[in-house]
Structure 1
Amino acid sequence: MQKPERRPAAPEFSSGPCAKRPGWSAEALSAAALGRSHRAAIGKAKLKDVIDRSRKLLGMPEGWVLGIVPGSDTGAVEMAMWSLLGQRPVDVLAWESFGSGWVTDITKQLKLKDVRVIEAGYGELPDLSKVDPAHDVVFTWNGTTSGVCVPNGDWIAGDREGLTICDATSAAFAMDLDWDKLDAVTWSWQKVLGGEAAHGMLALGPRAIERLESYTPPWPMPKLFRMTKSGKLNEGIFKGETINTPSMLAVEDAIDALGWAESVGGLKGLITRCRGNLAALESWVADSDWASFLAQDPAIRSHTSVCLAISDPWFAGLSADQQKDVPKKLSKLLEDEGVAYDINGYRDAPPGLRIWCGATVATSDVEALTPWLDWAYATVKADFQKAAA
């Protein structure tokens, strides 16, 4: 098969850190408050700017607070779990690697006893009707490593007694989050906004705040996780007074990303861009003789972290090790060509590809990528067949 002529203008299809916004350059960071204290007026103002603009873009309701916390999305989720869990039984939903990671934290680190793990395999959702509204529930809105997302928040009871703790790192700014059904929500800058790593965002609703102020977990609380003072919410955390020293360069980059998001139509515009990228892949998959979606049900298919499976009967006849090698070699081939970077599927997922389709990716680049996917697959398959002959 002949190499395609047209190449993506931006070959960054990694699922995290993700592509920078279109037109980005280091000049966008020229106003960064470098060499200044993050506790100085300028530092606090910039941190608060990220918080306020994020709240507005996401349509966060009144009564919610939003803070910048250490450790990226992982730190934000663990901060929520360590601070909020333990009062009630817990349901943990897991259908990919990050959800499974929260299961490990809850059962082996916090060592909670009254825990139900509700699981499904890669490409599927667990039975959401099994969630008990009297329990706290921990889940990912979008499974980054499986390409499967919850379709909405309808499965969460409006009159629930437990809290919902939602890891929304590859859903925030790309999907409509049902804030009325959520109590604690986390994400990071390096996903849909294309920002830099290390910083997480933690949003708490009124019910989560009430839990913080009325319940003290029985385990030691690391300093980085402490959100209360004298039994009351430490409001400074949610006004830009971060728990540890943030990178003001990364903060400036987040400000730039939020400004770009506003310029493309806010949340609605970001969602439209993501859906357009998925639609481009769906059109290609519909005609493909070798690729399919890991998430076969369109209702639960992610439009940010899109995971592709290999459905070619030839591939099914390979050994498990050979199957792992095919997408690895395909990804390396495209990286060497400067066409697509970091698109091999997640190490724990079934062998396949993972293509980031978040808002910072141009649909024209997704369209330019698909003929290269066909070329790379045909090339790798021919190499395998030649070696086996």
Structure 2
Amino acid sequence: MEYSGEKLSEEKVFKDPVHRYIHVRDRVIWDLIGTKEFQRLRRVKQLGTTYLTFHGAEHSRLSHSLGVYEIVRRIIDDVFEGRPEWNPEERLLSLCAALLHDLGHGPFSHSFEKVFDLDHELFTRKIILGDTEVNAVLTQVGADFPKKVAEVIAKTYSGKLVVSLISSQIDADRMDYLQRDAYFTGVSYGHFDMERIMRVMRPREDQAVIKQSGMHAVEDYIMSRYQMYWQVYFHPVTRSAEVILTKVLHRAKYLYETGYHFEQDPVHFHSLFKGDVTLKDYLKMDEAVMLYYFANWEHEGDEILRDLCSRFMNRRLFKYTEFHPSNEQMNKLIELTKLFKEAGIDPDYYLVVDSSSDLPYDFYRPGEEEERLPIHLLKNNGEIRELSRESEIVEAISGKRRTDHKLYYPADFLRDESTNKNVKQQIRRLLEMAD
């Protein structure tokens, strides 16, 4: 039975701390929320290891996905409806893409992806197109409907306006996570006037534009994003936890490949370690599963795996110092690596340079990697102008990438002078010089 236009007999609502209520009237949206693939997102945190820095950051990818859906629903139903540039036949497609855009995220998201060379967007599309409950629901809308949803998420769908709602420099994804992450971390940086931005949004063929009267609200949004990245997302303590998490996975993979006998066999990781993970295997992985293994690996025979898991589970994180990749600093890193080995501390796992980089706003650079559509303002005379040409605030940060480097190490190992006292003193002196 096709139910592309079917409504629920009664509207369903989710109470939400950010948007107050999330409204569901479409049968297909309600059924998608009930699928096991979507419910799996309850067991994947939105902010990965950030809960080890900001204790309130326990919210899930499911709550964020519902929030993105609600923002898109309000834009379409309250702002775009009836405007000639908007095609109402794309309403359900937009809502489904918004709801499912993060479906393929794995446990601890980006750290997990880096170690196993995975792409969550690829797995999002595989879930939508594969033998899944999500696909079964979408197919009831139309045989080609799952393909269209996957194309929107892949940014290859022909309707660029639909794509821009969930993937642009001012999209529903960013507008939800900035506010939601600010709420749960307890910071004030992520707040901006979303109501104002939505009221001044207007549909155009390729993307939504912002009326000139809303420019200051957009400036506030961009600065909010800038602050959230440097005060929350790239927080050095969170990055310390990510470094340890990454090293746990690297160590477990190395031990598996060298024939180590685990006391707790990592059966859920086998296909990941082999590099041939199936969709079925991938969907079994969530943060509850990973933490189960980490808790057991605290008692493994391998000293490094045992220590790293204990650090992660009990928040005994690495300390850090500033690091600048100059010739002098690189020479210092070479010397530190040598001294770590002399002290019996494996530098592959205990001496780590981590870098974070962000570009808060960019103008259009055609043909470049990660090509970004700029934010456009609709002037009172009907002219459309790129934001940084009208805003001095945005112009000041446009196209300027900020990068930060930190060197992470286990300070407690260096304080223990029961062995290799002289070497550890040399290491501490070098690290103090780096500060």
TM-score by length of 2: 0.27
Q: Which has the larger radius of gyration?
A: 2
- Higher RCO (C-alpha under 8 Å, 6+ residues apart): 1
The answer to which structure has the higher helix fraction is 2
